[in-house]
Structure 1
Amino acid sequence: MTTENFLCIIGAAIIALLIAIFHYFYKSKSKERSVILLTFLRFLSLFALFLLLINPKVEQSIIKTIKPKLVVAVDNSSSIKYMNQTDEVLSLVESIKNNKDLNEKFNINFFSFSDDVQLLDSLSFDNSQTNISKPFKQFSELYKNDIAPIILITDGNQTYGADYEYLTINQPVYSIIVGDTTKYVDLRISQQNVNRYAYLKNKFPVEVFLNYEGKKPVNTTFTIFKGNQKVYSKKVSFSKENNSQNLSFHLPTAKVGTHYYTSRIGQLDNEKNTVNNTKNFVVEVIDEQSKTLILTSFLHPDIGALKKSIESNKQRNVIIKKIGDKIQLKDYQLVILYQPTNSFNTIFSQLTTEKTNYFVITGSKTDWNFLNNAQEHFSKMTINQTENYTPVFNQGYTSFITDDIGFEDFPPLIDMFGEVKFKTSFESLLFQQVGNYITEKPLLATYEATNMRGAVLFGENSWRWRMTSKLERKTFVDYDNYINKIIQYLSSNINSKRLTIDYRSIYYANENVRVSANYLDKNYMFYSSATVWLSVVNRETNEKKRFPFLLNGNSYLASLSGLEAGNYNFNVSLENQNVKTNGSFKILEFDVEQQFVNANVDKLKSISEKTKGEIYFADAVTKLTSDLLIDKKFVSIQKSEKKSNSIIDWKWLLAVIIVSLSIEWFIRKYKGLI
């Protein structure tokens, strides 16, 4: 209450008293004792009325007790059912729900998770995917300002998503492990890395990670089949110490189209889980001849080496021209600009206008003042001095799969000394090493801009790299393949089609098949009012189905439910428009959740220890509740809040006025004063 209001209330009390005295002592001059009571009643009525007119605000302190939150996350995936743990999990959830002591200490929030996170309603254990990282990410955001320990009821097995073992989690995690914790002898294909596209009459790289759990040495065979045809085979050996292998190899392409492959590692006699011995992948083979133009103002051994590397792929043709020759840029998918000078001015203007992809190679004769102004993607402030730059392989490059072909043994390149700056988002294939100092500055980098891709190599004498690779590896193949991966990336334009689709070529029978689409208007802006349909045909049965796309943010999404295992063709079209595209996919009769036969104790232990939580087995839930109840980190907090109330909201004050006036009226009536 302010001082002004306080003075007004005192003034109101004085005025109310003076009016009451004036009315009953000065005006009526009655000597009866009831006059004192009538004066008081009149004073009370007037004072209450004045208070309502002044309407001061009264502050009130309210103390609230805030209990800590307890988050219970329950695995609702089908792996729980396959391990016969459904009754155990339901029993655990009920015991936590019905624990009076826990409910008195905590506000308990229950969630279920599989491929998504939901408030717990019921548990079905029929979801076909598990992403344990997703609940942790959502809880970190939802409870970032709260004390909220997490009880995680799960087998710890994850089928996709970020590895939850390496997440940053700010709340302690108490893991209740369900499922068989016995470690069985197991061989598995842990991961496969394959590019989705490959060129006809070329070879595409495959990388496979194999793991073994067991104590005795074992020998088996890793095989890849294309249909019933064996296309790759290798003997592999494992032991307790040597429990993993990484295989890298290339497979040939002979026919255009979508090709399905099956990777398989031989089963052990006593192996309980054989589902993870097999994985599938798909490669789309494209027949796409590409022409590459190398433009230069002088001859250099780099140019001949580049031509030989690129043309090692029979799908590619390289034309070398000098500045001043007649050139039609539209005839080429890629232009390589070797050490540009101001004589390249017209070419850069045409490249910018026609959105043609280009690859810049710089060196001691590059005119950097011109190059910095001729394009807007990168720059280099140089001095009149050259420097030797040794390549360092970047393992974190993500635009396409690359291999370290022994770059640490390659001789340095020569370029003008200076600091490189990019104005466009880029990725470094190779870093610079100057002397013994490894920098994170790019030596070879790729970048993307609107409807174009580019690359730049900051240095000349890369012909020596090709020769060194030949001397070290007895073949040009590794170096030529590396260069051709860059050329393949740069020869593929960023898709400018107005209707584009994104989908996987392989799905599993128990997962939700989803296809997303993006439609752009004539100005290449996302158009959100289109009606988009997907028609799908089973190639074996000719059964047809039609599904609508629903708007999903800045794209459209179709969920293809009820499809059985098989091969499917589909097309996506816009209603009332002649715009369509198509694709194909395969649904395999395979449940990814069945690949697990025991709980992943190691990962759950790691995440609990890292967050200062604990792990418990299903029969130790009583100890878990006891630990949570006695843990002094989780205590209720008393929070004081000041609440400001207006007197006009006090209904009883109006009642005082009515009652006091009514009593005064009855007394006066009884005394004959009215």
Structure 2
Amino acid sequence: MSEVIVLRDVSGSMNLKTTDQSKKDYLQPHLDNLIAKYRDKGYKVTDYDFANGISKDKDNSLLAPALAYVAKKHKRIRTVVLGTDAWLKDEDLSIIKQLNVPFITIADTAVVQNQDLAVMSVNNNRQGYRNEPTLIRSEIKADNWKGTATVTLKINGKQAAVQKVIFNTEYTQLVDFHQRFSQTGFYSYSVEVSAPNAKERTLNNNSFPGAIEIQSEKERIIIISDKPGWDNKFIIDAISTNPRWAISHYSAINGQLSTGNKPVSTLENSNLSVIIIINNGELRLGANLANQIQALQAKGIGLLYQGAPIDELNSLPIQKSNVSSSYQGFMRWQAESQNYPMLRIDPSEQANIPPLDYYYVVAKSGTITAITMDNPQKSPALVLMSGPTGKAIAIPVLNLWRWQMQSSSSSYQKLITGAVTWLGNLSTNNFNALYNNSYFRGESVNIRLRVEDSIRQAKLDINPRLEIFDPENKSVFADYMTLDGNDFGASTSFSKAGTYRFEILDKDSGNKTGGKFYIAESSVESRDFDYNLPLLSWIAWESGGKMLDQNSLPAFTPLPPTREQVTIRNEIPLYKKWYILSLFILSFCTELFFRRRWGLL
């Protein structure tokens, strides 16, 4: 018998009211009416509740697992009737097309003019830094309401900042909070909107949770040069685009290091990541400063050197040639440059680099010359070194800043920031977790892992295991992550609010990473009002079905089921019986015997 499957959404959002009744109460009589119509036509109707799949966990709405369960259990489905508001959290609904049966969806298309204030989203960097302003940006929406609303930032449940927002003609507004944190740690926060004179249908969407991790210090970048110059300025501008880097600028004249007019005897190495040296032609480091720099390199601090070569630093990947004058020429990218992401510059962009002042140098043994000049000797223009004494890049070129002036893109900035990132990467393997800092209760927690080698190529020959711990430090999830494209991933959801932590470990390599995220008290389902009409319409269209509303539901009549003719045949497979085969062979041989005996052959 042909079957009709009815799927009723019982997730939390179905209890929210659209007009004077909940969506669940609105759909109930219409679904019962459709079931009666299908049964009258001779269909077998099977009714299922779904929320997080067939599971009745009301903190999430996942249709795809429910459809997979139904498809496995029923083989003669002719129609699926879907009673849902369609605020689904599925990442992939391709199973609707794969089932190859029409879907009947139901929706209330009446327009209701309800007043409503809502915090639609909050955004911030995953990490901030102690005593520095941290931007928390929120999007506030006002439906059918005008006036002054109060937007409040609460950190760990306590009020931290308040702003007033006037809604007149704008539908949404962005509200920015610049918050300073005096202590390191993991902070949960929420942004709330309120207005005493707003007659809202609900307050469930008046707040939005978030979280941020505050670290002690930024990574420090030291710039040492002989005198101010345009190369100095443009390198500082490029590095300043990354908020996790703090820049310190020093002058080195006749071996004396100073900042401003204050002499400095020792380079501070706390949180130091990279040293940048720019020689405009008059740099003299002196033995003491050169030894300090080389000692820091030995500890893994990266070195970026630009300008005229010097003999004081033995750890440079270049050395002077017998030609001391500077010349002008164009840069030429070599095949080796493609092994380094920061050097993968589009050829059309390379053509924008104007003639540069360069010095003839000699690349040391064991280094890689990625860029040369266009002279007959192909003298090195960018040389890389990675070894026991740390990483280093040497660019015996001045006025590279002119490239930025000739180009409308940010290729110069990407080269400088990419080089600093490569130099500051102490590990030969990048083992990085990708995740959000906060989630609603019941929302899918997706954690991804990106593993790269020293030149940022994806590394996929690992078997990482993810383990998540709840606020009481009990293990609540443990599984191996699966490969998805160039990343590894795993997902789950939690109904208990609080701060969770996770660890990802690859036993073979010993690489390990982790992080924290916050599960809010509010459920993701408590914000899903009305009906997701575009998705309901798409489901009907994609499956070849129909979307019904309050006007078309009474006139809808299902087609009668098609009659199926089943032919049953009973066959006796004589060829499978050994004695039948033996009798045939015996008869054939007997006939041959007598024919030969009687002379008939």
TM tier, smaller: 0.5 to 0.7
Q: How does 1:222-241 map to 2 (within 5 A)?
A: 222-227=151-156, 228-231=158-161, 233-239=163-169
Contact 1:569/1:584 (8 A) holds in 2: yes
State yes or no: 1:190 paired with 2:116: no
Find the counterpart in structure 1 of residue 188 from structure 2.
260
Find the counterpart in structure 2 of residue 648 from structure 1.
575
Structure 1 Cα separation of the partners of residues 202 and 418 of structure 2: 37
Contact 1:74/1:112 (8 A) holds in 2: yes
Structure 2 Cα separation of the partners of residues 93 and 495 of structure 1: 60
**What is the CA distance between 1:176 and its match in structure 2?**
1.0
**What is the CA distance between 1:598 and its match in structure 2?**
3.1
Structure 1 Cα separation of the partners of residues 402 and 512 of structure 2: 48
Aligned partner of 2:193: which letter?
I
Q: How does 1:190-589 map to 2 (within 5 A)?
A: 190-214=120-144, 217-227=146-156, 228-231=158-161, 233-239=163-169, 242-247=170-175, 250-267=178-195, 268-292=197-221, 301-307=230-236, 310=239, 315-317=246-248, 319-321=275-277, 327=294, 329=297, 365-369=330-334, 372=337, 375=340, 379=344, 387-388=351-352, 460-461=401-402, 505-508=437-440, 526=462, 536=470, 538=472, 545=474, 547=476, 549-551=478-480, 553=482, 563=496, 565-566=497-498, 586-589=518-521
State yes or no: 1:155 paired with 2:89: no
With over 3 angstroms needed to count, the CA separation of the structure-2 counterparts of 1:524 and 1:513, relative to structure 1, is closer
RMSD (CA atoms)? 6.4
SS in 1 for 2:331: coil
Aligned partner of 1:368: which letter?
W
**What is the CA distance between 1:286 and its match in structure 2?**
1.4
**Cα offsets for 1:118-138 (capped at 9, x unmatched):** 4xxxx84x4202246x46997
State yes or no: 1:590 paired with 2:531: no
Aligned partner of 1:648: which letter?
Y
State yes or no: 1:177 paired with 2:107: yes
Contact 2:59/2:495 (8 A) holds in 1: no
TM-score (norm 1): 0.50
Structure 2 Cα separation of the partners of residues 618 and 152 of structure 1: 15
Contact 2:119/2:207 (8 A) holds in 1: yes
With over 3 angstroms needed to count, the CA separation of the structure-2 counterparts of 1:374 and 1:649, relative to structure 1, is closer
**What is the CA distance between 1:365 and its match in structure 2?**
4.1
**Cα offsets for 1:320-357 (capped at 9, x unmatched):** 3259986554656666576999x99x9789xxxxxxxx
**What is the CA distance between 1:154 and its match in structure 2?**
0.8
Find the counterpart in structure 2 of residue 114 from structure 1.
51
**What is the CA distance between 1:270 and its match in structure 2?**
0.9
Q: How does 1:2-17 map to 2 (within 5 A)?
A: none
- Name the structure where helix makes up a greater proportion of residues: 1
Contact 2:443/2:493 (8 A) holds in 1: no
Residue from 11, 18, 22 that aligns with 1:77: 11
> Greater relative contact order (Cα 8 A, min sep 6): structure 1 or 2?
1
Structure 1 Cα separation of the partners of residues 58 and 317 of structure 2: 54
**What is the CA distance between 1:300 and its match in structure 2?**
6.2
With over 3 angstroms needed to count, the CA separation of the structure-2 counterparts of 1:510 and 1:232, relative to structure 1, is same
Query: Is there any run of 5+ residues in structure 1 with no aligned partner, and where?
Result: 1-65, 350-362, 389-412, 417-451, 470-479, 539-543, 658-674
SS in 1 for 2:559: helix
Structure 2 Cα separation of the partners of residues 597 and 299 of structure 1: 60
**What is the CA distance between 1:593 and its match in structure 2?**
1.8
Q: How does 1:86-105 map to 2 (within 5 A)?
A: 86=24, 99=37, 104=42
Count of aligned pairs between the two proteins: 464
Aligned partner of 2:333: which letter?
W
TM-score (norm 2): 0.55
**What is the CA distance between 1:204 and its match in structure 2?**
3.7
Aligned partner of 1:80: which letter?
M
Contact 2:23/2:85 (8 A) holds in 1: no
Query: Is there any run of 5+ residues in structure 2 with no aligned partner, and where?
Result: 250-274, 280-284, 319-327, 357-390, 394-399, 453-458, 585-601
| Percentage identity across paired residues of the two chains | 15
**What is the CA distance between 1:278 and its match in structure 2?**
0.7
**Cα offsets for 1:541-599 (capped at 9, x unmatched):** xxx74546345657898979784x45677889999xx9998765544432332234433
SS in 2 for 1:130: coil
**What is the CA distance between 1:649 and its match in structure 2?**
5.3
**What is the CA distance between 1:191 and its match in structure 2?**
2.2
Find the counterpart in structure 1 of residue 256 from structure 2.
none
Structure 1 Cα separation of the partners of residues 548 and 26 of structure 2: 14
Contact 2:148/2:164 (8 A) holds in 1: no
**What is the CA distance between 1:281 and its match in structure 2?**
0.8
